[in-house]
A and B are shown apart, each in its own frame.
Chain A
């Protein structure tokens, strides 16, 4: 499958990675090569095979729905690029 620059632009947008216009054709051709490689999977007969959800035959463990920790505001915010008054600060989200 060949990926055009419009699709590359859309994927970059979905992934929230800024890609300059002039870099899109090269990106599209890399995607095409990788997807071409992946397309070998179409040769496999997967009729009746369930997609694997867990590699070991165990279901995910559950725990009691109770609070196990908390009150760590300072530790949680410690690595934030911008934290103010106990909150993460970001550019304006709504007008």
Chain B
């Protein structure tokens, strides 16, 4: 078989079980693709020795007939996941040299299921960013280009390396994490599927924390079936994460019937933004038609507090980040600044954090510190948490009225050029998450599915939002949309 790295998880699983190929062969194909794809900046720490060992073990397991679905599947792992003995630095200088002594629950589960780790993937520093430009490793690059223009585009962020690697067929799938849209926005920018599960579905243990009440890990895959397969391996109850839900994990792949007759799909009017490009409007209208033609009932809905989601997020996320990132003090791990004669411990903290954190991380830590400080806690932090409760109530009402899933655009535009937002104020960059951030605030599952291309040939995606804990149902609606859209475009290889 040629082009082994292009396989989906399901195709690779079936081919390996039939004996048509092996994990060793697919892994070798991926490692060779990674070797030639330095220009994408997707992989930042390669782990070929681990990959080859895991592949050999997986092949033995497949031969013995005891192989879970993920057995032998080569993956990229976002740098936010702690992987034992392998650099895990959240794309930050402050974690330079950090090699965890433990393995995150998600990667433990994936490896127990036989998955193969090819290496660690680029991202925005501490997952703070929407373009992968805040990474200490330099930018990850989108494998897609605008027609014949060779300007480098962003793969989105924060899971930009994951998005780039999957879209460019450097791996079969990748892990991502999503605090405000960091799986779904990059997935949409590169034409792949990205899913954020319900808050509490996937253990956060061993995932470097950004905003703990919003963070969720999820799969970034070539199609919806793969998202179902990989999500199942990632989720489940974990006593080491006190917010992990003690719920049975369904067989998500078995839910993919494509039959959505009688399902009710809500179209929220507040997501029709002023100045939204015509192409996004059209994409959304087309997606609505596809679901309707598949037998779903389309209803107009209202989520009145949508407008306040981004401002609430930019209080809550920085507040939690300022608390979570207090641990980077130059004492227990990572970078410590060189001190001058007479410097005490306060200078050590201040210099270490000034050298170790990039500008966006510093900005968010300080904004978080401000909104939590005496005299402002009520006015900012508590008010934002109240608004968050209202945003969740908006969704609760819609679901109580019988809506099964909500269809929205995934992003307000196609991928933009690296550096294009350099002079914009930070809020312009924050607007990238306008359609995705509500889902994190309400703790809901959301999935981005590629459904079209813009006039420059760049991929565009739609987002489906589901009821809490009903990922199986949501995946099935996404599967139906995927079947109808028939998106098969791939970036032309230039790297």
Which residues of A does B touch, CB under 8 Å? 3, 7-8, 11-12, 14-19, 27, 30-31, 33-35, 37-44, 46, 49-56, 58, 60-61, 63, 72, 75-76, 78-82, 88, 90-93
Q: Is the CB of B426 within 8 A of A50?
A: no
Q: Is the CB of B199 within 8 A of A55?
A: yes
Q: Is the CB of B362 within 8 A of A17?
A: yes
Query: Provided the pairs A46-B383, A90-B348, A91-B344 are in contact, do residues A34 and B354 lie with their beta carbons within 8 angstroms?
Result: no
Complex Cα distance, B392 from A31, in Å, reads: 28
Please give, as numbers and ranges, the residues of chain A lying within 8 Å of B347 by CB-CB distance.
18, 91
CB contacts under 8 Å to A, within B239-281, are: 239, 242-243, 245-246
Please give, as numbers and ranges, the residues of chain B lying within 8 Å of A54 by CB-CB distance.
213, 243
Provide a sorted-by-A list of 6 A–B residue pairs whose CB atoms are within 8 angstroms: A16-B329, A33-B426, A34-B363, A38-B384, A72-B101, A76-B101
Q: Is the CB of A19 within 8 A of B344?
A: no
Q: Is the CB of A15 within 8 A of B351?
A: no
Does B68 make an interface contact (CB < 8 A)?
A: no
Q: How many A-B residue pairs have CB under 8 A?
A: 169
Question: Which residue of chain B is the closest to A8 with respect to CB atoms?
Answer: B366
Known: A41-B315, A42-B383, A75-B102. 13 other contacts (CB 8 A): A16-B353, A17-B354, A33-B425, A41-B380, A44-B390, A49-B386, A49-B389, A55-B392, A56-B245, A58-B200, A61-B242, A79-B333, A81-B336
Q: Is the CB of B307 within 8 A of A11?
A: no
Please give, as numbers and ranges, the residues of chain A lying within 8 Å of B370 by CB-CB distance.
3, 7, 11, 31, 35
Does B334 make an interface contact (CB < 8 A)?
A: yes
Q: Is the CB of B350 within 8 A of A17?
A: yes
Question: Which residue of chain A is the closest to B444 with respect to CB atoms?
Answer: A55
Query: Provided the pairs A55-B443, A81-B331 are in contact, do residues A38 and B373 lie with their beta carbons within 8 angstroms?
Result: no
Query: Provided the pairs A17-B354, A37-B427, A55-B213 are in contact, do residues A88 and B331 lie with their beta carbons within 8 angstroms?
Result: yes
Partner of A40, one of B311, B348, B373, B441: B311
Please give, as numbers and ranges, the residues of chain A lying within 8 Å of B292 by CB-CB distance.
none
Q: Is the CB of B350 within 8 A of A18?
A: yes
